[in-house]
């Protein structure tokens, strides 16, 4: 068996064979530390199940997932990497490479079909940093839930996902994420394990389904409401809510009924308070 794809020697061999370089436009940085990749795969909760990967690159994480999963479905947008992946992952017959933009595919339909075949479906990926949020929100907002999401992202984005109220990283993304999942940072990743080395550090965040799901009458409307509350961080909640189209006296009543001061900012409200505010907002 060959050395792991994430080893320096194997990565260099693959890059040289295919005359490859990391494409900045696709946010590519190749991992060259097998132990890190192995640990991410071990934490993915996908043993003997189906794992979906986005942006497999040259297959470093894919390989480790394939050693554990019953099936790996990997979406790759970069034309140059399809032949590379066929070569690097030729030993694994449980890997399916799909040459498609993940943001354009029908995720609901995929998960619906996979649920007929597998007890558990998880997502595990080293996400391209320039489209981390669109990819995750495509998964978050799907009508068909996955059981667990384990992704490597930019450290400052990881901090926002897991932030508590009244901290500098807390924003609409924090609230929406925490409405949907229990989020936690499980690994911190130094920039030195990549080729080429990026200008930022990374972290691996895991999102697990909540044991008790939060409910509002319209999740899409709730998410837009939360985004509106944070629209201008330096403004008060009252001033941000004025942008959403209701009369000042209605906004004042909503804030008063929630037991809040008119001078409070959105960052001081936790998830439960946002749900309460949203429900009051819908009623007025």
> Any known ligand binding at 31?
yes
How many Å is the Cα radius of gyration of the chain?
A: 21
CA-based nearest residue to 118, from 41, 208, 209, 50: 50
Distance, in Å, from the CA atom of 226 to the CA atom of 173, rounded to the nearest integer, reads 9
> Any known ligand binding at 228?
no
> Any known ligand binding at 147?
no
> Any known ligand binding at 101?
yes
- What are the tokens at 123? 């997502």
Distance, in Å, from the CA atom of 53 to the CA atom of 260, rounded to the nearest integer, reads 43
Q: 196: buried, middle or exposed (CB in 10 Å: 19+, 13-18, 0-12)?
A: exposed
- What are the tokens at 103? 């943001």
Q: How many CB atoms lie within 10 A of CB 117?
A: 10
Residues making up the annotated binding site for S-adenosyl-L-methionine are 29, 31, 55, 76, 101, 126
Residues making up the annotated binding site are 29, 31, 55, 76, 101, 126
């Amino acid at each position: 068996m060959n050395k792991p794809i994430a080893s320096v020697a194997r990565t260099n061999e693959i890059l040289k064979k295919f005359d490859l370089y990391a494409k900045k436009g696709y946010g590519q940085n190749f991992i060259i530390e097998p132990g890190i990749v192995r640990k991410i795969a071990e934490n993915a909760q996908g043993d003997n199940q189906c794992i979906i990967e986005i942006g497999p690159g040259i297959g470093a994480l894919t390989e480790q997932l394939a050693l554990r999963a019953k099936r790996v479905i990997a979406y790759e947008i970069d034309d140059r990497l399809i032949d590379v992946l066929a070569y690097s992952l030729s030993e694994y017959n449980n890997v399916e490479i799909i040459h498609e933009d993940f943001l354009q595919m029908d995720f609901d339909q995929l998960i619906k079909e996979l649920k007929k075949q597998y007890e558990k479906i998880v997502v595990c990926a080293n996400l391209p940093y320039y489209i981390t949020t669109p990819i995750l929100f495509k998964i978050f907002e799907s009508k068909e839930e996955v059981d667990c999401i384990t992704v490597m992202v930019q450290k400052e984005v990881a901090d926002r996902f897991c932030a508590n109220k009244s901290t500098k990283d807390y924003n609409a993304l924090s609230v929406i994420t925490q409405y949907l999942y229990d989020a936690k940072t499980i690994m911190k990743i130094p920039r030195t394990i990549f080729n080429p080395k990026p200008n930022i550090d990374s972290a691996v965040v895991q999102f697990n389904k909540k044991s008790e799901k939060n409910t509002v009458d319209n999740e899409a409307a709730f998410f837009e409401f939360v985004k509106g509350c944070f629209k201008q961080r330096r403004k008060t909640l009252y001033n941000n809510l004025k942008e959403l189209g209701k009369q000042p006296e209605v906004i004042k009543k909503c804030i008063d009924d929630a037991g809040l001061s008119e001078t409070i900012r959105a960052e001081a409200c936790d998830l439960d308070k946002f749900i309460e505010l949203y429900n009051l907002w819908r009623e007025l």
